[in-house]
Amino acid sequence: MGKLSNESTVAIVGAGVAGLRCAIELQERGLKPIIFEASDRVGGRIKTDQFHEFKLDRGFQVLLTAYDECRSVLDYDELDLGCFEPGAIVWTGSKFAQITDPWRRPASFFRSARSPIGSLNDKLKIANLRQRLTRKSNEEIYATSKDEPTFAYLHELGYSEGFINSFLRPFYGGIFLEPDLRTSRIMFDFVFKMFAQGYAALPRGGMERIPLQLASKLPKNAIRFNAPVEKLKGHTITLEDGSKVFPDHTVVATDMSAAASLSGNATIDRGWNRTSCLYFSTEPSPFKKPCIALNGSGLGKITNIAVPSDAAAGYSSSDASLICVSTEGAGSLAEIESELKTWFGPNASAFRFLKRYDILQALPRQQPGDNGYGKHPSRLGPNLWICGDHRFSASIEGAMASGRHVAEAICQELGK
């Protein structure tokens, strides 16, 4: 491998959704980017494994249908999205309580007002926040000057301790993958707005359909698999097999830790939030509707439980339901099974364990001061660029927006 052809002046390292989105934008503007991907498939942290009759995502993830960048580039109809019910059910330690979304399920208004989770004051505050945030653009949210940890922000907004602990902490802790809610309030506002304006959805064929759909927009030879990049220096990319490539511009679209090591800039790596995910099957589903169940009891390791096969039929090709249990820290299988018995009683004995995923590098930490949201420079050197969820927001949306921004900046430089 030597000099790339005349048109292929941009090389991208990494075929996660950031690298793929970057390549699509470059291609749409007349360039022919090439991606070097270390593994044998696209998707990075968004992968789905076939396991017997089930599709197992590597960690519970959802696409929020309100994501702007995703809506603009993904074909939601082709993804055949199945949605979870808005709101959640909350395990209180002794029973399940429902939190519905009266804006999208008006018939549930009275049930929601009477729900034991949160006082009337808490519910009015949620309504106010919803009104305030849905009037703002994402850019206005990102530009918020006073950043602070989410837990401090929620206290400032005046939510009761009970509501924070039984609903807001398990809900957002499960999204941020950290129960202490140290994550930036900008991220909270952004995610809150996305949940207010859309649904949490799963593609019928599993989350990996998202990067696969992006990859299908690129020519087959635009991605070189099993091609880990070892070193970047000036215009030279050195692959692990020793071969060299000399693009005009290089975009580092790897995960945060690999980006820090490839660029020689340790400050890029600000630490990770981890999660574990255990899959079980049972028949029938333990829930009546496709919903996300939160652990509002303050006890145990389980953060949330979802039944992907209730939301999107493709997750199970038999009558069996697929249960996804997300946990904080790595509890043993015996611990989780015993906790499931407190949630579901004797029905839990019928849950058959399938597989577990321990994901140590799930989400880049995003605390106040860590910034992101386009505030980090996307240029590391005269011909070296960087994108990924760690530059924007720790989400599919953030990764893709970051990829597009870098492509636009390169095109501006090249007059494309």
Ligand X SMILES: Cc1cc2nc3c(=O)[nH]c(=O)nc-3n(C[C@H](O)[C@H](O)[C@H](O)COP(=O)(O)OP(=O)(O)OC[C@H]3O[C@@H](n4cnc5c(N)ncnc54)[C@H](O)[C@@H]3O)c2cc1C
Tell me which residues touch ligand X (CB under 6 A): 13-19, 36-39, 44-46, 59, 61-62, 228-229, 253-255, 258, 275, 359, 362-363, 388-389, 394-397, 399
Residue 12 dihedral angles phi and psi, to the nearest 5°? -115, 135
CB nearer to ligand X: pick between 164 and 239: 239
Q: Considering the complex, what minimum distance in angstroms separates the CB of residue 397 from ligand X?
A: 6
Q: Considering the complex, what minimum distance in angstroms separates the CB of residue 27 from ligand X?
A: 17
Q: Considering the complex, what minimum distance in angstroms separates the CB of residue 391 from ligand X?
A: 8
Structure tokens at 8: 């292929």
CB nearer to ligand X: pick between 97 and 177: 177
- Three-state secondary structure string covering 211-233: HHHHHCCCCHHHEECCCCEEEEE
Q: Considering the complex, what minimum distance in angstroms separates the CB of residue 13 from ligand X?
A: 5
What does 170-226 look like in DSSP terms, one character per residue? HHHHHHHT-TT--SBHHHHHHHHHHHHHS-EEEETT-TTHHHHHHHTTS-GGGEESS
Q: Considering the complex, what minimum distance in angstroms separates the CB of residue 240 from ligand X?
A: 8
The identity of residue 133, as a single letter, is L
CB nearer to ligand X: pick between 122 and 397: 397
Q: Considering the complex, what minimum distance in angstroms separates the CB of residue 155 from ligand X?
A: 25
CB nearer to ligand X: pick between 242 and 345: 242
The CA-to-CA distance between both ends of the chain, in Å, stands at 27
CB nearer to ligand X: pick between 37 and 122: 37
Residue 132, number of CB atoms within 10 A of its CB:
12
- The verdict on whether omega for the bond into residue 211 sits within 30 degrees of 0, i.e. cis, is no
Structure tokens at 314: 């493709």
Residue 76 dihedral angles phi and psi, to the nearest 5°? -65, -35
Q: Considering the complex, what minimum distance in angstroms separates the CB of residue 346 from ligand X?
A: 30
Distance CA 294, CA 326 (A): 10
Structure tokens at 226: 């099993």
CB nearer to ligand X: pick between 189 and 389: 389
Which residues have C-beta within 8 Å of that of residue 382, sequence separation ≥ 6?
Answer: none
CB nearer to ligand X: pick between 38 and 126: 38
Q: Considering the complex, what minimum distance in angstroms separates the CB of residue 59 from ligand X?
A: 2
CB nearer to ligand X: pick between 97 and 215: 215
The identity of residue 181, as a single letter, is L
Distance CA 33, CA 247 (A): 10
Q: Considering the complex, what minimum distance in angstroms separates the CB of residue 373 from ligand X?
A: 14
Structure tokens at 74: 């993904």
The identity of residue 299, as a single letter, is L
Answer yes or no: are the C-beta atoms of 92 and 297 closer than 8 Å.
yes
Distance of CA 311 to the CA centre of its chain: 17
CB nearer to ligand X: pick between 213 and 254: 254
* CA angle centred on 265, ends 260 and 271, rounded to 5°: 50
